[in-house]
Structure 1
Amino acid sequence: MFKMLNKSLRVRITILSFIAIIIIQLIFIFGTYIIYGRYVIKNSLDTLSITTNETSILLERIIASYIKPLNSISNIPYINLMEWEEQLELIDRNFEGFYDEIAMVDIEGHAKYFDGTVLDLSDRIYIQKALMGQSAISEMLISRKTGEPVIVAAVPIVDSYEDVVGAILGRLEMASLFEDIKTTGLKQSSQRFIISSGGSVIYSEMGGTWFKDHNFEDELRDFIHNESNNAYGVKIQNYENENYYILYSQIGDYQWGLYNVISEYNMLQPVRNLLYYSLLFSFIFSLFIMIFTYIAIRQASRPIHELDQLMLRGSEGDFSVRAKFNRQDEIGRLGNSFNVLMDRIKSLTYFDVDTSLPNAIVFEEDYHILINTEHNKDKMGLMMIEVDELINTKNKRSDIYATIIEKVVKRLKLFVPANSVLYKYTDNAFAILIPDTMNIITSEFEEKISNFLEDFEEKKSLDNHFVVSIGYSFMMDNPSYIDLINAAMAATKYAKKDNHSSIKRFSETMLDELNYDSEMRLSIARAIREKQFYLLYQPIVALGSQKVVKTEALIRWKHPDKGLIMPDEFIPIAETTALIIDIDYYVIEAACQLLRSRQIHNLKLFPISINITSKTLEQDDFISKLEYILMNYQVNPCNIEIEITERVVMNNFNKNIETLLNLRKMGIKISLDDFGIGYSSLSYLSKIPLDFVKIDKSFIEAITDNKMAEQVIKSIIQMCENMSLSVIAEGIESIDEAIFLLNNTCLYGQGYLFSKPQSIEDLKFEFDVL
């Protein structure tokens, strides 16, 4: 049941509707019960009050009928002579059987009965009233003869002077009175009592102890006392959390009162009966409404249920499902929206958003289909094309990313072999799945790719410097190496080692090198943690004075097992990961530590040139971190130089230029290393904020036997002078090279002619080699 409540919308709506209807009906029914109940109570009390008054009048007449014969006796001639014996026969003859017993009372209150008994009744209230000239009735008494309850009526006897000379009384059994009272029965659920002013219960339909049983005695006595002078009254009494209404009406002048007692429970019995029937009807009606609602909702929600099933199938990967609702209402529009959504989901699931190319999911499906097809198994080929910095361009320069990715895809499609498919494999990588490589002539295939790479290189912009690494593998390359995907990816990684756009075909030897690189990366990370790196310093000399003007910090690695490892072995590997950033910061901090130490010991300070790679330079927090290190070691920025290569600058040209400008504002000088072998050097040189240009050692080595190299060097020196840049010649190993450079106004030199990289303790600051 609870699972249905959780899953079925129609059941939930039906039950909620049922609950809502029940609540509304209950509020209405109980509200009506309260309002109608109050009305019934008021109406019942009004009716009972009228009936009580009418009944008291009727009882007054009944009592008057009891007294009337006595009035007749009191009016018999000569009765006022009070001669009992003479009147006895007359009284007995005329009133025999009406009263149980008749007596004549003298003025002293002595009563004489038929049987001759004489009793002193002077202390009786009803006798006193009669002797005072009033007709009176006693409270309920017990007969001295029969032991049954009786009442006594007394009527005064007056003489001709209207003076009371005695009284005549008649005794009547209560049974006769009860029979007469019963003939005045009320059509109400009430209990009647006749109670004297003295508190005696003359008549009760519930027994004489009812008030005592209900703890009403004290309240009744107070009520009788308070209402004794009133013709009628009403009292509410609570007993056991139930209200009882007591209605009172005086019976003539006889000091008797008629009391009608009715409980609120009895008055509300008809209302309760109506409530029970209403609740039963409400439940049946609500049940009917619930069934009707469920059927109606089921019918109306059938399309929603169908749509829910379609969504379930869609969530399980079946993106071919479509809603078929031939309706123009909200359900129809919902179905249309669902179809549009499924088309969009299918597109997003199977196709790349930026290129509309099938994505890695489609690639995996197609790959497994082909790899499991016996006809294609030995003919398959796979090419992976990875474009470095493509995702960074998307994140940082989304305004030009769309144009760039469109051009990249357009060029890639130019060399996709027939029957092959181009995929967007990852954010930076594309894949070409080749079902049949037998018809591909490798030389022509690679020529097309080379043309693509050349075209790509020619169209590099100042904002983006992309390196395209292509690796491909054919099944025929290594039948035992079944994982074609890993083979192509391995070739791609191998191509990235060239640090420029290149293409590599998979061979098993690549795996050894890649495994070596992987192990080397782990060792580099460990070396950083265990501080296995250290710095050597190679002086840069003023060729004229042969004095050291600054040094270049060069990192070395003392491996615990392999011994000394040179930078050209581990730096290229570190550059493929973020490890190079940690190495760069290590060099910066070690150089600053040295400068701080020499400052503390009052030793000669000299600028230190530090090589920075592109990954570090492009970090958003590079400037702030460098400032922190300089401040922490109290190093003057003028004693630090940053040395970069053209490739470093070109990776993200505009951003890097901004960073270099900020470095110069700090007072740090900038050197351009390996000048002459990079990317269109002369065209970009004027845009880079530089202080020094270092001529690559390959030009210096060719000075003595290559006139063209000499002309290039002269041109570079002349151009730098025109741009107010100082030139440093790298790799000077002979005096002839140094003299040539000096004669051509090259002011600074660096090389083994002067000094190899050495520890700071072994470093000389003056030379005499020229």
Structure 2
Amino acid sequence: MSLKKKLSFIFSTIVTFILILNNILSYYYTRDLLIKDQEKQMELLVKEISIAINHSQFGVESLENAIGEKLRAAAIAAQNALDPDINKVTNEQLVELSKKLDVSYITLLVKEKGDIVGVKSSDPQERNLSTKEWGYWYTAFQQLFSNKNVTIPQGQKLSNYWSGPMNVSASNPDHVDKWGYYYDGTTNYIISPYMRDKQIMDFEEHIGPDAIVKKTLSNNKSLLNITGFNPNTFGLPPVYTEQNGKKFIELENKAIQFGEYEYKDKNVDVSAVRKAMKTGKPISVQSTVNGKKVLKSFIPVSAQNPYVIGIVTDYKVIQDVLNKQLLNNLIISIAILALVFIVSYFLSRYIVSPINQILLKVDEIAKGNFGEQVIIERRDELGALANQVNVMSLNLLDHTDELKKKNEEIQYHAYYDFLTGLPNLRFFNKTALELANSNDKETMAFLFLDLDRFKFINDLLGHSAGDAILRAVTNRISSLLKEGEMMSRIGGDEFILLLPNTSCKEANDRAQTILKELEKPFIYEGNELFITSSIGISMYPTDGKHVEDVIKNADMAMYRAKEQGRNNLQFYTADMNDWIQRRAILEKGMRQALEHDEFTLYYQPKVDINTGKITGSEALIRWRHPQLGMISPQEFIPLAEETGLIVSVGEWVLRTACKQSLEWQRLGLPKMGVSVNLSPRQFQQANLVEIVSKILKETGLAPEYLELEITETIAMYNESYVIAKLKALKDLGVKIAIDDFGTGYSSLSYLKKFPFHTLKIDKSFIQDIEEGSDDNKIITTIIAMAHNLKVNVIAEGVETAEQLQFLQQQQCNEVQGYLFSKPLSVEEFYKAFSEIQEAALTKINRKSE
């Protein structure tokens, strides 16, 4: 098909689609307008019908009131004719009196054993009739006997008189029944005359709602059915009032108030009636009943007349109008399409020729002939398009050389890290593989380096600080490399170094140098930041015949270095594969350990070095793995920190320790504090203070009995953030302890600002106490500094009498360690408390002497 024919076809197709869409939209738009117009007409019709019905109902109410007043007059006449004592009145008298007063019958009601009973009546069926189950009728009788005005909403109320609402007999709906009840206290019985009346039925037959509906339907052939619905009872079973074995329906409870209920679609109709009454708006429904399509409109009358009028109209009226409009639209559309075909044919000829010329030049440019020009002298869109093609052709010619230059830059970024400028893993692997292939007997060392707790810096100070640290680390390590050695950033905070022609000893020395270099503080925005690294080392070809395997083994060794406490190096060994498998098992099991109640807490007592009294305990977590047995915290705590599970585990430890401390107080142990360790990840939580406060409230432990231990490395990041959080915890009443003091990089300037209560001297210093040793001097200095800062100082890891004696001499405040007790389970701690306390007093007093 030629381009000219294609354009003509496309243009005609678009116009055809638009016309079809317009006809469809017009059809449905008109249909909706007709339905809305029909609804408006029905609303006006309903107003007319409701006005006529209101007049009719006013006449019915007037007749009902007249009957009620007639019954009251009959009751008063009966009172004058009868003895006030019911025992002196006979049924025969009531029969005769009913005839004289022109009522159907008269019944006398009395109180009798918690009931009100119709004892005597001119109608044998009304005698000995119980009314206790008559609902509000019974309530009205009680109020009459109490000489009170009847207050129930139903019925007609006059002085000393109540007339029940009119009922329609379920067995004979051709008349209405009306009862009256009179009592003024002069008799010992209620006088109840009854009338069966057809006046109301006759009245409604001539000018009632049904008569109005018939007249309306006869005047409008499009109206098929008009029905008055009671929204409260429509769709529900009939509500009968039963008296003396006869069933009656009260007029106000009839589901169909007037009209015939034809064209039934009950489920849809019930829903529409109730929705119309609830919203106060007309509801229209299209329906097909007995093969005839109709439009049903359900229109609420008013709040004063709580019923809904349903009007059914023949949908054919609307459909006829729609069919006529659709025919007109089709004729117009055909005429427009014929005109479009003619115009599109000539228009396509005008457009196609210059387009073909442009396409030929574009094809030449696409083949690489940059600089080709289109010659078209036109001032329309095609002329503008030709100019744009010419500009594009010249620009392509100009940019060819520039693209060649950028290609070199792209090639560079394909092999180098954007942030640090280091070779990426792709280039590193390529270089290592080339070296290995060129001399497979040369020994090469691979150092896999990961920064410790780098995520903590990123989360606390932001990624800009993290990026600055990564660049600074790159500069420091790069300055240590020799010619031919390579450093690569492989992602995040992980680096790998290639040291050709290097022995194991040389690799160890180089790694030690890197560790010491990174221990120096980094300066960021005037703050000192401390960061360490874990290094894994593997040797080629000793630890693998393929470079990929050696790098993987170095990665494995790095994880072992992290497990060993970070800031150290580890060489790859064959047993690390087993360790990696064990690590995977532990990580998987830890995710279920809390749920399966596998964690438990052990408690190690703390002793006052002056009095010998137990002042508290430190909560230490243990893990009883179902297959591997007891797992050391040194093994699973670092793993929990890496995976982020330390947050949920730490919260469990805090809650459990607080509960246990309060439980021991209730069991009679002295009131003493409990210490709980906070991990760096926990301290980083924005809602940490809220969590601690919530746990204290839940467990009921007083804040002064809880001590939170943080490592001094936490204090090295974002001074203002750390101080603010510590102050918030202190405001709760919780105590703060600096744990493992002396092993990090704390300075006096930090310690003076931090709101803490206790310094804990790390056990590594206590274990090496010897006369004149450097550790002794460090301990002495820490204790003196703590006293000057007016904070408590505690030494952990005390195992010998000599260590205790030295700490007493230096006036340390508290101690904990195996000299007094190992960490104990809950049961062991409680049972052995008195024994531990007595032993501690003995040891402390012996040294004091």
Residues 430-465 of structure 1: CA deviation (Å, up to 9, x unaligned): 22345xx33x35544543443332122123455533
CA contact (8 A) 2:603 2:823 kept: yes
For the pair 1:293 / 2:355, whether they are aligned, the reply is: yes
- Pick from 525, 542, 545 the counterpart of residue 477 of structure 1: 542
Alignment root-mean-square deviation, CA: 4.5
Structure label with greater radius of gyration = 1
CA contact (8 A) 1:614 1:649 kept: no
Instruction: Report how far residue 720 of structure 1 moved.
Output: 1.0
- The 2-side partners of 1:710 and 1:369 are apart by 54
Classify 1:481/1:593 alpha carbon distance in 2 versus 1 (closer, same or farther; 3 Å). Answer: farther
Residues 237-259 of structure 1: CA deviation (Å, up to 9, x unaligned): xxxx99xxxxxxxxxxxxxxxxx
- The 1-side partners of 2:585 and 2:616 are apart by 36
Classify 1:529/1:685 alpha carbon distance in 2 versus 1 (closer, same or farther; 3 Å). Answer: same
**Match runs of 1:129-144 below 5 Å:** none
**SS of residue in 1 equivalent to 2:427:** helix
Residues 184-218 of structure 1: CA deviation (Å, up to 9, x unaligned): xxxxxxxxxxxxxxxxxxxxxxxxxxxxxxxxxxx
Q: Could you tell me which residue of structure 1 aligns to residue 469 of structure 2?
A: 404
Classify 1:479/1:741 alpha carbon distance in 2 versus 1 (closer, same or farther; 3 Å). Answer: closer
- Alignment gaps of 5+ in structure 2: 19-326, 329-334, 371-389
**SS of residue in 2 equivalent to 1:762:** helix
CA contact (8 A) 2:446 2:551 kept: yes
Q: Could you tell me which residue of structure 2 aligns to residue 383 of structure 1?
A: 447
**SS of residue in 2 equivalent to 1:410:** helix
Q: Could you tell me which residue of structure 1 aligns to residue 509 of structure 2?
A: 447
Which letter maps to 2:815?
G
- The 1-side partners of 2:498 and 2:674 are apart by 51
Say which is worse superposed, 504-513 or 606-615, in terms of deviation: 504-513
- The 2-side partners of 1:664 and 1:383 are apart by 44
Q: Could you tell me which residue of structure 1 aligns to residue 743 of structure 2?
A: 677
Classify 1:336/1:640 alpha carbon distance in 2 versus 1 (closer, same or farther; 3 Å). Answer: farther
Residues 49-72 of structure 1: CA deviation (Å, up to 9, x unaligned): xxxxxxxxxxxxxxxxxxxxxxxx
Instruction: Report how far residue 591 of structure 1 moved.
Output: 1.0
Instruction: Report how far residue 326 of structure 1 moved.
Output: 10
Q: Could you tell me which residue of structure 1 aligns to residue 590 of structure 2?
A: 524
CA contact (8 A) 1:675 1:681 kept: no
Residues 253-274 of structure 1: CA deviation (Å, up to 9, x unaligned): xxxxxxxxxxxxxxxxxx99xx
Instruction: Report how far residue 628 of structure 1 moved.
Output: 2.5
**SS of residue in 2 equivalent to 1:540:** strand
CA contact (8 A) 1:21 1:286 kept: no
Q: Could you tell me which residue of structure 1 aligns to residue 618 of structure 2?
A: 552
**Match runs of 1:273-352 below 5 Å:** 283=345, 286-287=348-349, 289-300=351-362, 303=365, 349-352=414-417
CA contact (8 A) 1:645 1:675 kept: yes
**SS of residue in 2 equivalent to 1:554:** strand
For the pair 1:761 / 2:833, whether they are aligned, the reply is: no
Classify 1:707/1:424 alpha carbon distance in 2 versus 1 (closer, same or farther; 3 Å). Answer: closer
Which letter maps to 1:513?
W
**SS of residue in 2 equivalent to 1:677:** coil
- The 2-side partners of 1:649 and 1:307 are apart by 67
Classify 1:422/1:590 alpha carbon distance in 2 versus 1 (closer, same or farther; 3 Å). Answer: same
Classify 1:569/1:397 alpha carbon distance in 2 versus 1 (closer, same or farther; 3 Å). Answer: closer
For the pair 1:458 / 2:524, whether they are aligned, the reply is: no
Residues 360-407 of structure 1: CA deviation (Å, up to 9, x unaligned): 343455556666x46558666533222234465456334444543332
Q: Could you tell me which residue of structure 1 aligns to residue 728 of structure 2?
A: 662
CA contact (8 A) 2:709 2:737 kept: yes
Instruction: Report how far residue 408 of structure 1 moved.
Output: 1.8
Q: Could you tell me which residue of structure 1 aligns to residue 783 of structure 2?
A: 717
Classify 1:294/1:504 alpha carbon distance in 2 versus 1 (closer, same or farther; 3 Å). Answer: farther
- Give aligned-pair identity as a percent: 28
- The 2-side partners of 1:717 and 1:764 are apart by 28
Instruction: Report how far residue 757 of structure 1 moved.
Output: 2.5
- The 2-side partners of 1:356 and 1:398 are apart by 18
**SS of residue in 2 equivalent to 1:644:** strand
Instruction: Report how far residue 503 of structure 1 moved.
Output: 3.2
Residues 256-311 of structure 1: CA deviation (Å, up to 9, x unaligned): xxxxxxxxxxxxxxx99xx99x9669626624632531331452476578799xxx
CA contact (8 A) 2:521 2:529 kept: no
**SS of residue in 2 equivalent to 1:477:** coil
- The 2-side partners of 1:569 and 1:736 are apart by 31
**SS of residue in 1 equivalent to 2:676:** strand
- The 2-side partners of 1:444 and 1:622 are apart by 46
Q: Could you tell me which residue of structure 1 aligns to residue 811 of structure 2?
A: 745
Instruction: Report how far residue 654 of structure 1 moved.
Output: 5.6
Classify 1:385/1:723 alpha carbon distance in 2 versus 1 (closer, same or farther; 3 Å). Answer: same
- The 2-side partners of 1:613 and 1:422 are apart by 32
Q: Could you tell me which residue of structure 2 aligns to residue 583 of structure 1?
A: 649
- The 2-side partners of 1:722 and 1:359 are apart by 52
- Pick from 414, 420, 427 the counterpart of residue 355 of structure 1: 420
- The 1-side partners of 2:400 and 2:597 are apart by 65
- Alignment gaps of 5+ in structure 1: 2-10, 28-240, 243-270, 309-324
**SS of residue in 2 equivalent to 1:355:** coil
Residues 333-355 of structure 1: CA deviation (Å, up to 9, x unaligned): 78789778867765655432211
Instruction: Report how far residue 542 of structure 1 moved.
Output: 2.2
Classify 1:382/1:459 alpha carbon distance in 2 versus 1 (closer, same or farther; 3 Å). Answer: same
Say which is worse superposed, 636-645 or 497-506, in terms of deviation: 497-506
TM-score (norm 1): 0.55
**Match runs of 1:76-87 below 5 Å:** none
For the pair 1:693 / 2:759, whether they are aligned, the reply is: yes
**SS of residue in 2 equivalent to 1:535:** strand
**Match runs of 1:97-176 below 5 Å:** none
Which letter maps to 1:571?
I
Which letter maps to 2:452?
D
**SS of residue in 2 equivalent to 1:472:** strand
- The 1-side partners of 2:768 and 2:456 are apart by 40
- The 2-side partners of 1:530 and 1:13 are apart by 77
Instruction: Report how far residue 424 of structure 1 moved.
Output: 1.9
Q: Could you tell me which residue of structure 2 aligns to residue 233 of structure 1?
A: none
- The 1-side partners of 2:458 and 2:633 are apart by 33
Instruction: Report how far residue 497 of structure 1 moved.
Output: 2.8
Residues 610-631 of structure 1: CA deviation (Å, up to 9, x unaligned): 1122222223333332232223
Q: Could you tell me which residue of structure 2 aligns to residue 624 of structure 1?
A: 690
- The 1-side partners of 2:403 and 2:8 are apart by 28
Which letter maps to 2:521?
K
Instruction: Report how far residue 721 of structure 1 moved.
Output: 0.9
Which letter maps to 2:567?
S
**SS of residue in 2 equivalent to 1:686:** helix
Instruction: Report how far residue 722 of structure 1 moved.
Output: 0.7
- Pick from 476, 486, 489 the counterpart of residue 424 of structure 1: 489
TM-score (norm 2): 0.51
CA contact (8 A) 2:598 2:624 kept: yes
Say which is worse superposed, 440-449 or 538-547, in terms of deviation: 440-449
**SS of residue in 2 equivalent to 1:294:** helix
- Pick from 581, 603, 606 the counterpart of residue 515 of structure 1: 581
Instruction: Report how far residue 726 of structure 1 moved.
Output: 1.0
Say which is worse superposed, 478-487 or 609-618, in terms of deviation: 478-487
Instruction: Report how far residue 537 of structure 1 moved.
Output: 1.8
CA contact (8 A) 1:699 1:709 kept: yes
- The 1-side partners of 2:544 and 2:518 are apart by 33
Which letter maps to 1:721?
H
